[in-house]
Amino acid sequence: MSGIWGNNIRFSIFGESHGEAIGITIDGLESGIELDIEEINREMRRRAPGRNKMSTARNEKDEFEILSGYFNNRTTGTPLCAIIRNSDKRSKDYTKIKNIMRPSHADYTGNIRYSGFNDYRGGGHFSGRLTAPIVFAGAVAKQILRKKGIAIGSHIKSIGEIEEEYFDGVNIEKELLKELSYKEFAVINEEIGLKMKNEILKAKEEKDSLGGIVECAVLNLPTGIGSPFFNSVESVLSHLLFSIPAVKGVEFGAGFDISKMRGSKANDEICIEEGKVKTYTNNNGGILGGITNSMPIIFRAAFKPTPSIAKVQRTINIETKENTTIEIEGRHDPCIVQRAVPVVEAVTAMGILDLISQ
């Protein structure tokens, strides 16, 4: 198993959902970077469980401990390592289903890939719990990018069939992104947000779950970042986005809808505005030929419904090789999208930092 990603800045993730701790090591950071620890804590709280009725009741504060690479409030230039201890573990919830493969989880694939030696409790290393150290790494990356004027922000574009407006791909305000980051439920339209919340609670009452879409924007990236083909901005970000558990789709700019347009509508015509090169539209999401073109990077990530639901489902017993059924117990999110918003921003920051560090 490899838990390492990055070319210039390398991120190494470790731990299991019900193990002693989870964490991440960041290698390649410059020395002397001052970090705002409270701001990192704020980012961690955005993802933390147990904040409201729409998330899991698992009570983890996601408090981190920096073990190395940080001294006198600044990075030392050596690997920065942080851990988050797991304090609210109920591993007994999983003992009786050790050999029962939960539908749409990584139980079966993990069992086969690692010959049955994988830690199955709470999904082990496959769990969304592992996104906590990713948010730590993303919070560090965000601070570095912010000093360069680069802003990253997201909102909940949809929950189930309920949708709110898209970002304005041409004129996104940095203040809007900042405002969204302070919201417990990150929507632009509060009225639609209330409908989304009610839909989540309804699914929870019915022992079911919902998925949704997170839309993300990156502002003020210099033109010329990225490369064609294998190190394009889209491929770098997509790699990381698909590393988030439950992400099943990614689209940039107009996304799949661009396939329905004629070239005359899809093309982003170019202009000079206040001495800067811009485009009138942003159907390509700020990227051409894999390289940034000065417009905001816009993309969306689609999350599947939480697979842990209390309804009876058909499955198999991997030990006896028999068909059976399962009712999943324990503490689970009826919808992970609200907590996934800072995770999407985190992997975006990680990818952008790696790209600009070349």
Binding-site residues from annotation for FMN = 125-127, 289, 304-308, 331
Q: Tell me, rounded to whole angstroms, the distance of Cα 217 from its chain centroid.
A: 13
Alpha-carbon distance of 274 to 67, in angstroms, equals 47
Amino acid at 5: W
Secondary structure string (H, E, C) spanning the chain = CCCEECCCCEEEEEECCCCCEEEEEEECCCCCCECCHHHHHHHHHHHCCCCCCCCCCCCCCCCEEEEECEECCEECCCCEEEEEECCCCCCHHHHCCCCECCCCCCHHHHHHHCCCCCCCHHHHHHCHHHHHHHHHHHHHHHHHHHCCCCEEEEEEEEECCEECCCCCCCCCCHHHHHHHHCCCCCCCCHHHHHHHHHHHHHHHHCCCCCCEEEEEEEECCCCCCCCCHHHCHHHHHHHHHCCCCCEEEEEECCHHHHHHCCHHHHCCCEEEECCEEEECCCCCCCEECCEECCCCEEEEEEECCCCCCCCCEEEEECCCCEEEEECCCCCCCCCCHHHHHHHHHHHHHHHHHHHHCC
Whole-angstrom distance, CA of residue 74 vs CA of residue 275: 38
Residues whose CB is less than 8 angstroms from the CB of residue 68 and which lie 6 or more positions away in sequence, other chains included: 78, 79, 80, 81
- Quote the distance between the C-alpha of residue 295 and its chain's center: 22
Annotated binding site for NADP(+): 47, 53
Binding annotation:
47, 53, 125-127, 289, 304-308, 331
